[in-house]
């Protein structure tokens, strides 16, 4: 199965790339972003600074890639989810996070990728709707490429774990 859900700390996963739910400054923060920078060490922030110097941060829905530093993952793909305010555009931006992250993964020859539940923490996106968008978008991407072997949804909390599981059951039963 190409799509999997686990209840895990994403910083522990030995995959080609883990995705970070960053903010547009790329300078770190709390939540999964803080955990990734803590576990990965200063090399990640150093590369983020170079990216900021080059292109001035990362817009909502876009993604950039850095080393994984001391993480078991080779790369970190930093994407910026939307802050939830209930506008339709926010769903599109969340879908863009998944698509653009996977495009970067393919460009960097990553075969295995792990995602956190982007925007469902500090950015307050409703977990139910976010799970539908996450699974639908990733499944659609994988249908159009053979470059990626596995995508893991690394859920930190029970609620996200069950919601993603529910959505995966739908796509896996096609
Ligand atoms: N592994 C996997 N998932 C995690 C981990 C972890 N170690 N830690 C937290 N989560 P959030 P956002 C889950 O708030 O909503 C940051 O300060 C968490 O349970 O990390 O996109 C950034 O710098 C939740 O389900 O990201 C931005 O400013 C999910 O990760 C802002 O927060 C996302 O929660 C981004 O907010």
Indicate the length of the chain as a whole number. Answer: 174
What is the whole-number distance in angstroms between the Cα of residue 108 and the centre of ligand 1?
Answer: 24
Give kind and range of the element (H or E) at residue 164: helix 158-172
Q: Give the count of beta carbons closer than 10 Å to the beta carbon of residue 89.
A: 11
Domains in the chain, ordered, with CATH?
A: 3-172 (3.40.220.10)
In the three-class reduction of DSSP (H, G, I as helix; E, B as strand; rest coil), residue 157 is classed as coil
List the pLDDT tens digit at each of the 174 positions of the chain. Answer: 799 999 999 999 999 999 999 999 999 999 999 999 999 999 999 999 999 999 999 999 999 999 999 999 999 999 999 999 999 999 999 999 999 999 999 999 999 999 999 999 999 999 999 999 999 999 999 999 999 999 999 999 999 999 999 999 998 765
Residue 84 gets which letter from DSSP?
P
Read off the tokens for 110: 């990553």
What pLDDT was estimated at residue 174? 56
d(CA 69, CA 48): 12
Phi, psi of 152 (to 5 degrees): -110, 130
What is the whole-number distance in angstroms between the Cα of residue 174 and the centre of ligand 1?
Answer: 31
**Is 128 tagged catalytic?**
no
What pLDDT was estimated at residue 172? 76
pTM score: 0.98
What pLDDT was estimated at residue 29? 96
Which member of 9, 16, 33, 157 is catalytic? 33
Mutate to test the pocket of ligand 1, among 8, 18, 20, 21 (most ligand atoms within 8 A of CB): 21
What is the whole-number distance in angstroms between the Cα of residue 80 and the centre of ligand 1?
Answer: 11
Q: Where are the alpha helices (DSSP H) in 67-157?
A: 88-107, 127-143
């Amino acid at each position: 199965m190409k799509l999997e859900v686990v209840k895990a700390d994403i910083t522990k996963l030995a995959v080609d790339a883990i995705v970070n739910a960053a903010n547009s400054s790329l300078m770190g923060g709390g939540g999964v972003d803080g955990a990734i920078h803590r576990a990965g060490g200063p090399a990640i922030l150093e590369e983020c600074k170079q990216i900021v110097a080059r292109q001035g941060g990362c817009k909502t829905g876009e993604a950039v890639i850095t080393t994984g530093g001391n993480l078991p993952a080779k790369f970190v793909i930093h994407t910026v989810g939307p802050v939830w305010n209930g506008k339709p555009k926010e769903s599109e931006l969340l879908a863009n996070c998944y698509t653009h992250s996977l495009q970067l993964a393919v460009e960097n020859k990553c075969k295995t990728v792990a995602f956190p539940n982007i925007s469902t923490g500090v950015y307050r996106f409703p977990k139910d709707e976010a799970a539908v968008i996450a699974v639908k978008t990733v499944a659609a991407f994988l249908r159009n490429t053979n470059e990626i072997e596995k995508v893991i949804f690394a859920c930190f909390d029970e609620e996200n774990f069950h919601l993603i599981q529910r959505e995966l059951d739908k796509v896996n039963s096609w």
